Amino acid sequence: MTVDKVHVLRALAVLELELDQLVAHKVAAAKKAGLSWDEIAQASGVSRPSVWRRWKDGVDDPRPTRPARRDASRLLLTGAAAAVVHRLTDELATRAVGRKDDHPWSGAVRVALNRLSKTYEVTQRGAREIEFRLHGTRIQVTCLEPGSDGPGGLSVLIAPRPELTLSGKGTVRTAGLTSDVLIPVAGEELIDSVLTFLRQQIEADAESA
C-alpha cells in the first residue's frame, strides 16, 4: 500500500508538470488565433489581470508558469508508476466531467456586472446566499444558489431615493429571476438572461433617480 501511494504521488507530480506545459501551449495558440485576454480569462475562470500576468510572456515561448520543482528533470515514470498514470487520468476525467458549479447564479451575476462595467461589493450571507451591492446605484442583488429545496435564483432590491425615505413616501422596489430547472453551471444562456435582467433594473434605477 505504501509503495502504491509513492507511485501515485510520483504520477501526479508528472501529470501536473505535463498539464502546465500543455496549458501554456494552448493559451499561446489561442492568443495567436485571435482570442483576447478577456476571452481567455473567462474560459480559464480567473481575472483578466491574472491571466495576462501569468501567460503574456509565454505567447511566443510557451512554458509552465507554476514555480519549478527542484528535481523536475528527475520526475520520470517507469514500471508501476507509469501504469498509475492511466488510472489517475481516468479518475481525473470522471471528476472533471461530473463537476458541478456550486454558485451558478452568483457566477453569472459577476460576469454580467463585469460586462456592464459595474463595480460592486460582495458579501457572503450564508452557504447559499451571496449579496452584491452595486456602486453608484441603489441596487442590491441577492443570489440564492441551488439546493435541495430548489434551483435558486436572484432577487433585486432597489431602495427609494433618500429624500423620499425621509418624507416617508419612498417604497422599496423588488424584482426577481428564477429558473424551473436545476442549473448545473453558469453558462452563456444563464449569463445572457442575468445580463438582460440586471440591465433592466439598472435602467429602471437610473430613470427613477
Measure the CA–CA gap between 176 and 154, rounded to whole angstroms. 6
- State the pLDDT at residue 163: 53
> pLDDT (tens digit, 9 = 90+) per residue, 47-63?
888 889 999 988 998 88
H-type alpha helices, 45-133: 48-55, 79-97, 104-115
Ranking 18-32, 70-84, 158-172 by mean pLDDT, the lowest is: 158-172
Measure the CA–CA gap between 103 and 59, rounded to whole angstroms. 32
Instruction: Please give the order of strands across the beta sheet that includes 120-124.
Output: 120-124, 129-134, 139-144, 153-158, 173-178
Residue 69, all three cell numbers: 520543482
Q: How many CB atoms lie within 10 A of CB 127?
A: 9
pLDDT bin (cut points 50, 70, 90) of residue 170 is: low
* pLDDT top residue among 172 and 125: 125
> What average pLDDT does the structure give for the chain?
85
Please state, for a pLDDT cut of 70, what percent of the chain lies above it: 92
The residues near 42 (Cβ < 8 Å, ≥ 6 apart) are 111
- State the pLDDT at residue 95: 82
> pLDDT (tens digit, 9 = 90+) per residue, 67-124?
777 777 788 888 888 889 988 999 888 888 777 777 899 989 998 998 899 999 999 8
pLDDT bin (cut points 50, 70, 90) of residue 22 is: very high
The alpha carbon of residue 21 and the mean position of all alpha carbons in its chain are separated, in whole angstroms, by 22
Measure the CA–CA gap between 184 and 187, rounded to whole angstroms. 9
8 A C-beta contact, residue 45 and residue 114: no
Measure the CA–CA gap between 53 and 188, rounded to whole angstroms. 26
**Residue 167 pLDDT > 60:** no
Measure the CA–CA gap between 92 and 19, rounded to whole angstroms. 12
